[in-house]
Amino acid sequence: MKAFLLEMMGLVVMLPLLSACKKDQAENAESLQKPNIIVVLADDMGYSDLGCTGSEIATPNLDRLAQNGLLFTHAYNASRCCPSRASLLTRLYQHRAGIGFMNGDMGLPQYQGYLNDKCVTIAEVLQQSGYRTLMSGKWHVGDKPEQWPSNRGFDQFYGIPAGGGLYFYPSKFVNRPIYRNGEAVVPDSGSFYSTDNFTDEAIDFIDKAKETNQPFFLYLAYIAPHFPLQALPEDIRKYQGRYDQGYAATRDKRLARQKELNIVDRDVVLSPEDFPDWEQVEDKAKEIRKMEVYAAQVDRLDQNIGKLIDFLRHSGQLENTVIFFLSDNGASAETFERAPEAEIGTAHSFTSYGQHWANVSNTPYRMYKSMEHEGGIITPLIVYWPKGIAQIGKLIDTPVHITDIMPTCLELANARYPEQFNAKDILPCDGNSILPLFHSPNTVSNRHFFWEHMGNGAVRVGHMKLVRRHHQPWELYDLGADATETYDLSGQHPQQAEELQQRWQKWADELGVQPWPITDNKKVE
């Protein structure tokens, strides 16, 4: 009788709609329980440049995230910007994603310079799992419009598709057009500073994402503190006089602080100095100024993390937001000085702080960006999640890798890594979720980690690491006893060195790693 009355009233057609509505409401409720996820990537930041890893630079916001979250002290990246970004976004070693070198096409699939169709990005998977996907900052894994974030799973994108090097706008040194969702934008040159601007746009994206009633994923990829040394005057003033004592004194203080914080073991010794005696430096004022400006850039980055956190707190989203923070490589020893007459720190200058201060930034480790010694590949990894991390302030020394970021995000979102995407077969993943380490004690890992960039290579298994510079012999280190790679054991343990070299070579062959330079091996079809 009831069904008859409904039918007579013309409402029976509404029953499927009501059921669908309830289903949608249930799905929305479930999606709202999923955490928001933010991945923040610094550019060329050294291991010791944060207060929580020993620095004198003021980074109170990142320090608080570490104190109220987790700090992974042995996280690894892929030693340079494009490879690290490819691995972070796809959970693959960079060669398998198509970016074995940088963003130029070198004529081989492994070195095509943009993400291939055999990989899938975090954004592509999370977008299909009900997330609003947002990006602000530096892309650098595909220069052409069809390779930009909007075609790799991001609903919203603001930033620079190709490269960095832009703080003030416009730059007379680099051509870096800025885009918002595919449309070129011209920012206000009087107020633009990229670190601030990227954060403001990210916050605006998050604010508008609330209207969709979806959890969000944000990839916030800063340029800072990558050269050129350009910072705001008020930030530079904070560091005047801070570096008057020079390289060694700053480095020694950082190591002492690291030991107090238990970031490194008490018996760790500094890697060899890679700078002259301070008294022999001719232009001390210039060297001091370089580090003052570099510190100001890191400081401003931290200020913007604070701005983002404040927005999340005031909008009621902080409790269930997971924040990851790491650097794409170690400090850069590159030397640039395109306008030596200009005042360092201003938009008229384009200089780097060079090898000497990079050695300080990487305290206590050896070597630099693009190299596979610890100074090139180790990064602090901060993970913060008020709702999901109970044991706050914990230091985790279990080695983890940048390919682990995506699988961790997928597990947080209850999303599955696909075997196919857009009718293409997707390569099996390389990374592992580190979510179990949020709750479990440190474990000794016998996992294999591999690196290669420009002929530099390394493999780590347990505490043992085999590493080489391009065209130089392999070196063997026991990182458990020699964290700064000071004592080469390859002569004492040739068999172990040989075994690790064979493992590295097998990995390299499987991935299609080519001898460097690639131009000597370019294949013409």
Amino acid symbol at 155: D
> How many Å apart are CA 466 and CA 235, to the nearest integer?
41
> How many Å apart are CA 98 and CA 105, to the nearest integer?
9
Closest Cα to residue 243, out of 159, 357, 129?
357
Burial profile 320-353: b = 16 or more Cβ within 10 angstroms, e = fewer? bbbbbbbbbbbbbbbeebeeeeeebbbbebbbbb
Name the catalytic one among 81, 82, 119, 429.
Answer: 81
Helix 284-314 × helix 354-361 angle, to 10°: 50
Helix 354-361 × helix 247-260 angle, to 10°: 10
Could you tell me if 78 and 85 are in contact, meaning their C-beta atoms sit under 8 angstroms apart? no
Q: Which two structure tokens, joined as six digits, stand for 504?
A: 């590295």
> How many Å apart are CA 186 and CA 139, to the nearest integer?
18
At a CB cut-off of 8 Å and minimum separation 6, what does 428 contact?
none
Distance from the Cα of residue 185 to its chain's centroid = 25
> How many Å apart are CA 301 and CA 40, to the nearest integer?
10
Could you tell me if 60 and 243 are in contact, meaning their C-beta atoms sit under 8 angstroms apart? no
> How many Å apart are CA 417 and CA 148, to the nearest integer?
21
Closest Cα to residue 195, out of 170, 218, 226?
226
Name the catalytic one among 74, 82, 95, 140.
Answer: 140
Residue 6 backbone phi and psi in degrees, to 5 = -65, -45
> How many Å apart are CA 12 and CA 17, to the nearest integer?
10
Residue found under tokens 């995230």: 65
- Annotate 291-322 with three-state secondary structure: HHHHHHHHHHHHHHHHHHHHHHHHCCCCCCEE
Strands annotated E in 110-155: 132-138
81 is catalytic: yes
DSSP states of 404-461: GHHHHHHHHTT----SEETTEEPPPP-----GGGGTS-------EEEEEETTEEEEEE
140 is catalytic: yes
At a CB cut-off of 8 Å and minimum separation 6, what does 374 contact?
330, 365, 366, 367, 479, 483, 484, 485
- Annotate 482-517 with three-state secondary structure: CCCCCCCCCCCCHHHHHHHHHHHHHHHHHHCCCCCC
User: In whole angstroms, how far apart are CA 107 and each of 37, 59, 110, 346, 465?
Assistant: 36, 43, 9, 39, 32
Q: Which two structure tokens, joined as six digits, stand for 233?
A: 């005057």
Could you tell me if 317 and 213 are in contact, meaning their C-beta atoms sit under 8 angstroms apart? no
Q: Give the active site residues.
A: 81, 140
